[in-house]
Structure 1
């Protein structure tokens, strides 16, 4: 078997244009678990053009660090994988909008990071740039989570910025997420003699009634209002069209404000749904993150880039930084509501503005 050709480094001309660099990154397909090619290109670029950075490759995650002896260190991170492509590559630029898979989530942010990592050889803070894999899949595969478990010293910092799409504004913290299965059991019977059976799907009715009338809260945390959400996202049950089902499962997703722990969110789900006929089984849980905007570095960053901070409703990896005791915010180009959409697209001005804002903050300190 022949070895693959070494990845070519992006040119300095391309690195100086965050919009063109976004398109170049997007045009390297990198659906989760297939990040090697883009990771190779990023590593080759940093090795060729950024001798001021110490590089560590961990699987398909790349960590690049300055070692300038600054009083404070910041981590600036972005994931390099995308959800599956659906006839939305290669990218195309039309009337100031770049279309294509990954333009929003989140290769626009990664382009900003990569360009500045090469450009800024003497930032006001020591900077750890992180490009990581497997964000769009199961949490246990997440490259940032892997680094936190196995190389936590690489992530040590006073403040962190995640380049997730935030419409070019600062979004503090994030909601937590909890998925539970509501399981019911019954007794099979021929549907012509339904009275001889017990319908497990019908036994889900109390849970559906609770969901239909539940009013999710809006919770203020450190000055930001986080909207919660509670929804059924899947139902399974039944074995044939003429058989009363003896088992049914409804999956419920609870998006909870960062004033709660995952354990507190689980207790609420049990209070709402658990009964003699319904079992509650947790299948996934991830705590949110408080806004982190009270940290001095966060305040300085916000003042430098401007705008009014907003809450992040979805879960992002800022929660991993929060778990490590590092205040963190989201800041990147792109409308989060277009992430994963087949018509994913980003206004190029947002990419330019994010690069300008981050550069100004890192250069001035």
Structure 2
């Protein structure tokens, strides 16, 4: 079996990031990287290490009054000719540089460099975040080993360009259906065209005014959009069904059920089928541990305009934020890169937080 080179957790965090990036770990194929991470953490006497599938959990057990989780996924989207990594000036290019192996590198450095933090820490490196939720390694831990994720606060090291992003939006997808009657297109008047009947659905979407609520001091911006449309069975048949797929990104002041009710109301009179959904998470910045983190990191927290696994922590009753060195606008791009300076800055700020009360 292929093995990765041993990871050096004592060296420069920028070099560690490059080493992580150069270990291919597309979702579902993280074993080599998980093995390397486990091998690097097990010799550290101040950590208790647990392996669960391709997830690695490392914990301090100092009996301190507070416990925090620092978590990051180790998988990437499929490669696009963007490995091995390369450096150009201050930028490190390669698949997963921003999303989110730079954040993982910072977390690994912390795990090695801070044997006596002021708060007990659980480091979680997990698999299959970039694919369907049922495969998500963090979700698996929440279902089967929830005690490993118990904490007062969590930092998910998703790319945020070095700024705190509180909470996350919820998301749901729904199919809006129209029905018609098939007929030969040469005698279309004998049928009812379901695709034509979808025009009012698009009109409602064009006229939709998205909410911009402020939740716990952070401004969110919702969105309801068509992301697909399908109809028709042949080039000479009037279609008898059309499906418009919509995606609703909603602020965390709405529950998933309230979001479904809203979409049903917007498309009143149509058949609505909900295909998937995940709740959002409130910012959670009022907790004393979160406030200490915000002071250490600095800057003005902003809302996470997207869905992340902070939602999972919220479901466990753990307030969580997103914070990492990568730029989220670059995630999943062929030319993905991360600023080396941002990695160093993120490491310094996290060290300040874990080393001060």
Residues 231 and 122 of structure 1: CA distance in aligned 2, closer, same or farther (over 3 Å)? same
SS of residue in 2 equivalent to 1:293: coil
> Does the 8 A contact of 1:8 with 1:45 survive in 2?
no
Tell whether 2:107 aligns with 1:110. no
Counterpart in 2 of 1:245? 239
Work out the CA distance in 2 between the residues paired with 1:339 and 1:233: 20
Deviations for 1:175-227, whole angstroms, at most 9, x for unmatched residues? 11011111222221111111111111112111100001112111100100001
> Does the 8 A contact of 2:13 with 2:344 survive in 1?
yes
Tell whether 2:56 aligns with 1:56. no
In the TM superposition, 1:187-336 aligns within 5 A as: 187-275=181-269, 278-336=270-328
Structure 1 segments of 4+ aligned residues over 2 angstroms from their partners: 4-9
Deviations for 1:67-101, whole angstroms, at most 9, x for unmatched residues? 01111100000001111111111111111011111
Work out the CA distance in 1 between the residues paired with 2:218 and 2:318: 19
RMSD across aligned C-alpha pairs, in angstroms? Answer: 1.2
Quote the offset at 1:5 in angstroms: 5.9
Work out the CA distance in 2 between the residues paired with 1:11 and 1:362: 21
Work out the CA distance in 1 between the residues paired with 2:130 and 2:70: 18
Structure 1: unaligned runs, 5 residues or longer: none
Residues 316 and 349 of structure 1: CA distance in aligned 2, closer, same or farther (over 3 Å)? same
Quote the offset at 1:6 in angstroms: 5.9
Counterpart in 1 of 2:338? 346
Q: Alignment partner for residue 43 of structure 1, among 38, 45, 54?
A: 38
TM-score by length of 1: 0.96
Deviations for 1:22-72, whole angstroms, at most 9, x for unmatched residues? 111111111111111111111111123x22111111110111011011111
Work out the CA distance in 2 between the residues paired with 1:270 and 1:136: 29
> Does the 8 A contact of 2:284 with 2:320 survive in 1?
yes
Counterpart in 2 of 1:133? 127
Work out the CA distance in 1 between the residues paired with 2:334 and 2:209: 31
Counterpart in 1 of 2:7? 10
Work out the CA distance in 1 between the residues paired with 2:181 and 2:100: 48
SS of residue in 2 equivalent to 1:227: coil
Q: How many residues align?
A: 357
Q: Alignment partner for residue 21 of structure 2, among 26, 51, 57?
A: 26
> Does the 8 A contact of 1:61 with 1:133 survive in 2?
yes
Structure 2: unaligned runs, 5 residues or longer: none
